[in-house]
Amino acid sequence: MKKIRIGMLGLGTVGSGVVRIVEGHQEDLQRQTGAELVLSKIAVRDINKSRKVTVDPALLTEDPWEVINDPEIDVIVEVMGGVEQTKEYILAALDKGKQVITANKDLIALHGPEILAKAAEKRCDIMYEASVAGGIPILRTLVEGFSSDRITKIVGIVNGTTNYILTKMTQEGASYEDVLVEAQRLGYAEQDPTSDVEGFDAAYKMIILGSLGFHVHLSLNDLDIRGISKVTSDDIASAKRLGYTIKLLGIAERQDDLISISVQPTMVKDSHPLASVNGVFNAIYVYGQAVGETMFYGPGAGDMPTATSVVADLVAVTRNLLTGINGSRSSMIMNEKKLKSDEQIVSKYFMRLHVADKAGVLAKITQIFADYDISLESVLQLPNNGTDEQETEIIIITHDASKAGLNKALAKFEEIEVVKAVRSVYRVEG
Amino acid sequence: MKKIRIGMLGLGTVGSGVVRIVEGHQEDLQRQTGAELVLSKIAVRDINKSRKVTVDPALLTEDPWEVINDPEIDVIVEVMGGVEQTKEYILAALDKGKQVITANKDLIALHGPEILAKAAEKRCDIMYEASVAGGIPILRTLVEGFSSDRITKIVGIVNGTTNYILTKMTQEGASYEDVLVEAQRLGYAEQDPTSDVEGFDAAYKMIILGSLGFHVHLSLNDLDIRGISKVTSDDIASAKRLGYTIKLLGIAERQDDLISISVQPTMVKDSHPLASVNGVFNAIYVYGQAVGETMFYGPGAGDMPTATSVVADLVAVTRNLLTGINGSRSSMIMNEKKLKSDEQIVSKYFMRLHVADKAGVLAKITQIFADYDISLESVLQLPNNGTDEQETEIIIITHDASKAGLNKALAKFEEIEVVKAVRSVYRVEG
C-alpha cells in the first residue's frame, strides 16, 4: 500500500486532534483512500513540553524547515497559527511541490490570494476546511455541494465565544461584563478577548466564506465590523419583548454583481433557525438562487471537530495524490469585486432612542425618518417609569432602509435637542 | 472549450429544473468546470405534451434507447423515476461507459449494490445526491466532509409530506385526516399517500444515508418502518404538555459494528434542533465520533432544489471527465452488515395507557415494568375528567429500555384486565 507522508507544523489543540484521528481511524482512512497515512515529522516550539497525546519523540523537531525541506514528505499540515512567518513556511512548501492543508483562518483571510496563486502555479492542493466553523464542512458545501447554484447570501454565526456570551446574556439576563469573565474562567474566551468580542475572528471567517461563495477576493477593508462589547442587557430585553434574539452575524450578500459584507450584532426573528443556535455552536445559513434556504450547524471549535475537518482535507489530498490530479481545481476564475455603496446596502433596523418626555417629540422624530425616506414598521413608546421623569424611551423598527439614509437620520438625531441619546442601533434579519 | 454532452431520461418537475439551471447558469458552470455543458437529447413519454420549460423539439425523443445508445453522449441524467425498467436503462448506460446521475431514491435503495458494482466494473461515476433530501448536499457531506470520521448516528426528517402534516397537526391541533386532505389539495401529498405517510419514502432515503454513513449495504428488510397514519391529536397534545414534538424520524445507529435502522414517529425534545424543523423542510442530524453533533437543513423537494443537486453531480462528473478519474471512487470496500437484535436496540419510550380507575392499578403496571427491567423516568396519572368514570389515562416515559423488553411489557398489558388499552407508544429522542 502506498504511503502518504505527512509533515505537521504545530502540535497544540488541533494538532493533537489530528494525531488522534490519524492514529485512531487509520484502518478506516486506509480503506477510504487506499493509502497509508503516516505522520513523519512534526515541528513544535519545545520538544520537551508535556503533551495531551503521546507522539514518538523521534518525530519531533523544533525547526519547521526540517519538515518543509524533507523531500519524503508529501503533505504539510499547518496547525501552528500565526501569519507572516507561517505564510513563508506555506509558500516554501508549495514551492517544493508539497500539498498544503491549513486550519489558519487569519492566514487565508489575509493572504489567501497570494497562497492560492502559488498553489495554482505549482499545481498543488491548498485546502483549509478547518479554518471556518470547525467541524462543519461548509467550505466543501459551498464549493462542491452548491457548485451548480448562484449563492446570493451567506449568514453565519461563526464565532463560538460571542455566541456563548450572547446566549448566556439572553438566557440569564446577565451583563456582558459578567458573562465575559465567566467565559474566560471556563476557557471559552481568551484573556485578551478582543479578536472574538470585537468581531475580527468572525470577519476573517466571513472573508473566506464570501470569497468562496461569490468567487471574489475579499479583504478586511471590505467589511463593516462591529463586535458585541456594547450590547447591553437592556438591548437584549427589548429584543426579546419584540420577538427577536440578538446574535453576532456575519452577513455576505450579492445582488447582481454587487457585494456587501459585514459582521455585527443583529436582531434575528425568533422563528428564524439561526435564533435557536446557542452556546458555542456555529451555524451558517446559505441562500442560493435555485436551492433556496439551507442551514449547516455544528461545533465551531474544539480539538476533535476541527481535526475532523483537517483530516477530511487530508483524505481529499490523498485521493488526489493517488489519481495525480492535485491542483486541478485551483485555477478557478474570479469575478471582479464590486462593493455596494451605503446607498445600496438595504436592511431593516431596530433602534432605542432616549427622548424628552414632552408633546410633539414623536412627531419630530418620525418627520426626520420621513425626510430621509425611511418608513417605519413599528414604533413603541414606553411608559415613563424611570427615575428621570424628563426622559422616556422610544423603540423603532424601520422597514427596509438604506444604510446611508439611516446614518443621515442618526446624525440628525445628534443635532436635535429632544433626542437625548441614541442608545442602540441594530440591523434586523428574518 | 470541451463539450460535455448530456442525455436526459425524463423531463418532469426535476428535469425541467435541470434544464433551467444548465441553461440559466451556463456561464458560471463553464467557469466552474472548464467545459461547456450541452443537453443533447432528452427522452420523454410524449413529445407533444406542453411543458413548463421551452426545449428545442429536436432534442426530444420518445425512445430512451436513442439517448442511451448515442455514442456522443458522455453523461446520462435519469430523472424519469420507476424501478425495474429504469434499472435496465442505467445498467445499459454504464455498460456503454457513460457516467450516470440519478435522482431516483427507490432505484438506489432497492438496487444500489448492483448498480454500484456495474459502475465500479466499468470505471464510471454513479452519483445520486438528489435522491435524498432534495437540495441539501448530505451525501457529499457524509462521503467527503466526514470521510475522516466514524459516523455513529444519523437522524433525519427526510420526508416533507409527513413533516408538513405533523407540523400542521402540532400548530393547529388539527386531526391527521383533515390535514392530509388539505396537503393533498395543496399538492404536498399524493392522491395515494401511502408511500409518504406509511414511511416507505423515508425508509428508502434512510437506506441510502445509512449505507453511505456506515459503509454497508442496507435493504428494506433491515428496517423497522412505521408511518404517521396512527398519530392522533391526543398524542401530539400529550407530547406538547411534556415538552416534546412528534416528528417522523429515520434513525440509523451504529455501535461498534452493530447497526439498527428504523423509521417511526418519534417524540423529540423541544430543545433538540430537529424539533423546530417545520413544514416541508428536511433536516439530517449526523453524529460523528470525532466531530460530535452536526445538522444539515434545507428544502427536501421541489424542482429547483432537487435540480441543484443533480447539476452539482453534473459538475463533479464533468470535472472527473476532464481529469480522467471517473469511477476512481466506486471501489470502496464495504463492511459486513450486522444488525442489532431487539435486545440490543435501546431507547427511551413514551406511552399512553388507558387503565381502570381503581386502587392498585399503578402498582400493578409499574411492577410489570420492573419485571422486565425497565425503569421509569416519569409517570403522569391524569385526573379522570372524561365521560367514562371507570377509566383513566396514565402517561409513562421510560429510561433507556430494550425494544425486546418493551414489547414483552406491552404484551403483558394486553393480558391483564386493568389495562383497557395501550393508546400509543413512541420512541423518545434527545
Count of positions (residues) in chain B: 430
Using CA atoms, how far apart are residues B227 and B229, in angstroms rounded to an integer? 6
Is it the case that residue A385 has pLDDT exceeding 70? no
Using CA atoms, how far apart are residues A272 and A251, in angstroms rounded to an integer? 15
- Could you give the maximum distance between any two Cα atoms of chain B, in Å? 84
The verdict on residue A80 lying in a domain is yes
Using CA atoms, how far apart are residues B392 and B298, in angstroms rounded to an integer? 42
Give me the residue label for grid cell 468567487. Answer: A215
Say if B300 is an interface residue toward chain A (CB within 8 Å). Answer: no
Question: β-pairing, B376-381 with B151-157?
Answer: unpaired
Count of positions (residues) in chain A: 430
Q: Is the separation of the CB atoms in B57 and B24 below 8 Å?
A: no
The verdict on residue A164 lying in a domain is yes
Q: How far is CA A411 from the centre of its chain?
A: 30
Amino acid at B71: P
Residue-wise pLDDT for B334-385, tens only, equals 789 999 999 999 999 999 999 998 889 999 999 999 999 999 999 988 777 6
Contacts of residue B316 in chain A, CB cutoff 8 Å?
A: 144, 147
Amino acid at B359: A
Assess whether A292 and A367 both reside in one domain: no
The verdict on residue A331 lying in a domain is no
Amino acid at A13: T
Using CA atoms, how far apart are residues B187 and B162, in angstroms rounded to an integer? 13
A87, A122, A168, A205: the catalytic one is: A205
Which pLDDT value is given to residue B381? 86
Q: Is the separation of the CB atoms in A251 and A218 below 8 Å?
A: no
Residue B366 cell numbers, joined: 409499574
- Residues of A numbered 78-97 whose beta carbons fall under 8 angstroms of chain B's beta carbons: which are they? none
Determine the average pLDDT of the residues in A211-216.
Answer: 94
Is it the case that residue A370 has pLDDT exceeding 80? yes
Assess whether B237 and B354 both reside in one domain: no
Reading across the β-sheet that carries A126-127, which strands appear in turn? A60-61, A35-43, A2-9, A75-78, A99-102, A126-127
Which residues on adjacent β-strands are paired with residue B370?
Answer: none
Which CATH number characterizes residue A376's domain? 3.30.70.260
Assess whether A249 and A295 both reside in one domain: yes
Interface test with B, best of A132, A155, A294, A296 (most B CBs within 10 A): A294
Is it the case that residue A8 has pLDDT exceeding 70? yes
Using CA atoms, how far apart are residues B57 and A302, in angstroms rounded to an integer? 56
Contacts of residue B293 in chain A, CB cutoff 8 Å?
A: 298-299
Which CATH number characterizes residue A214's domain? 3.30.360.10
Using CA atoms, how far apart are residues A64 and A80, in angstroms rounded to an integer? 10
* Closest-approach residue (CA) in chain A for B31: A333
Which pLDDT value is given to residue B387? 62
Closest Cα in chain B, distance from residue A369 (Å): 37
Using CA atoms, how far apart are residues A61 and A63, in angstroms rounded to an integer? 5
Give me the residue label for grid cell 392522533. Answer: B232
Where a domain ends, among B299, B331, B358?
B299
Residue A135 phi, psi (nearest 5): -85, -5
Q: Is the separation of the CB atoms in B266 and B251 below 8 Å?
A: yes
The verdict on residue A333 lying in a domain is no
Residue-wise pLDDT for A172-182, tens only, equals 999 999 999 99
Q: Is the separation of the CB atoms in A51 and A17 below 8 Å?
A: no
Assess whether B295 and B170 both reside in one domain: yes
Q: How confident is the model at residue A390 (pLDDT cuts 50, 70, 90)?
A: confident
How far apart, in Å, are the Cα atoms of B375 and each of A317, B318, B359? 50, 56, 22
Closest alpha carbon to A140 in A208, A83, A72: A208
The verdict on residue B377 lying in a domain is yes
Assess whether B234 and B317 both reside in one domain: no
Question: β-pairing, A258-269 with A2-9?
Answer: unpaired
Number of neighbours of residue B79 by Cβ within 10 angstroms: 24
Give me the residue label for grid cell 400529550. Answer: B238
Which pLDDT value is given to residue B382? 78
Angle (deg, nearest 10), helices B26-33 and B303-323: 30
Q: Is the separation of the CB atoms in A121 and A167 below 8 Å?
A: no
With the CA atoms of B48, B49, B54 and B57 taken in that order, what torsion angle do they form, in degrees rounded to the nearest 10?
-20
Residue B127 cell numbers, joined: 452519483
Which pLDDT value is given to residue B386? 59
One digit per residue, the tens of pLDDT, for chain B of length 430 reads 999 999 999 999 999 999 999 999 999 999 889 999 999 999 999 999 988 899 999 999 999 999 999 999 999 999 999 999 999 999 999 999 999 999 999 999 999 999 999 999 999 999 999 999 999 999 999 999 999 999 999 999 999 999 999 999 999 999 999 999 999 999 999 999 999 999 999 999 999 999 999 999 999 999 999 999 999 999 999 999 999 999 999 999 999 999 999 999 999 999 888 999 999 999 999 999 999 999 999 999 999 999 999 999 999 999 999 999 999 875 566 789 999 999 999 999 999 999 998 889 999 999 999 999 999 999 988 777 656 668 899 999 999 999 999 999 999 999 999 999 999 999 999 8
The question of ipTM being above 0.85 is answered as: yes
Nearest by CB to B315, which of A137, A147, A304?
A: A147
Is it the case that residue A101 has pLDDT exceeding 70? yes
- Residues of B numbered 185-224 whose beta carbons fall under 8 angstroms of chain A's beta carbons: which are they? 215
Is it the case that residue A331 has pLDDT exceeding 60? no
Task: Tally the domains of chain B.
Answer: 3
Which pLDDT value is given to residue B330? 58
Say if B345 is an interface residue toward chain A (CB within 8 Å). Answer: no
Closest Cα in chain B, distance from residue A297 (Å): 5
Assess whether A147 and A113 both reside in one domain: no
Helix (H, G, I), strand (E, B) or coil at B145: helix
Which pLDDT value is given to residue B359? 87
What radius of gyration do chain B's Cα atoms show? 24
Using CA atoms, how far apart are residues A156 and A146, in angstroms rounded to an integer? 17
Percent of chain A with pLDDT over 90: 91
How far apart, in Å, are the Cα atoms of A118 and each of A91, A124, A132, A314, B200? 7, 8, 21, 19, 51
Assess whether A176 and A273 both reside in one domain: yes
Using CA atoms, how far apart are residues A107 and A94, in angstroms rounded to an integer? 15
The verdict on residue A57 lying in a domain is yes
Residue B110 cell numbers, joined: 432497492
Assess whether A289 and A313 both reside in one domain: no
Number of neighbours of residue A316 by Cβ within 10 angstroms: 23
Say if A304 is an interface residue toward chain B (CB within 8 Å). Answer: yes
Q: Which residues constitute the domain of residue B278?
A: 138-299
Give me the residue label for grid cell 450584532. Answer: A265
Closest Cα in chain A, distance from residue B51 (Å): 19
Determine the average pLDDT of the residues in A322-336.
Answer: 81
Using CA atoms, how far apart are residues B204 and A420, in angstroms rounded to an integer? 63
The verdict on residue B341 lying in a domain is no
Which CATH number characterizes residue A23's domain? 3.40.50.720
Give me the residue label for grid cell 459494528. Answer: B257
Contacts of residue B299 in chain A, CB cutoff 8 Å?
A: 291-294
Assess whether B130 and B142 both reside in one domain: no
Assess whether B45 and B129 both reside in one domain: yes
Assess whether B389 and B402 both reside in one domain: yes
Assess whether B153 and B276 both reside in one domain: yes
The verdict on residue A338 lying in a domain is no
Q: Is the separation of the CB atoms in A418 and A361 below 8 Å?
A: yes
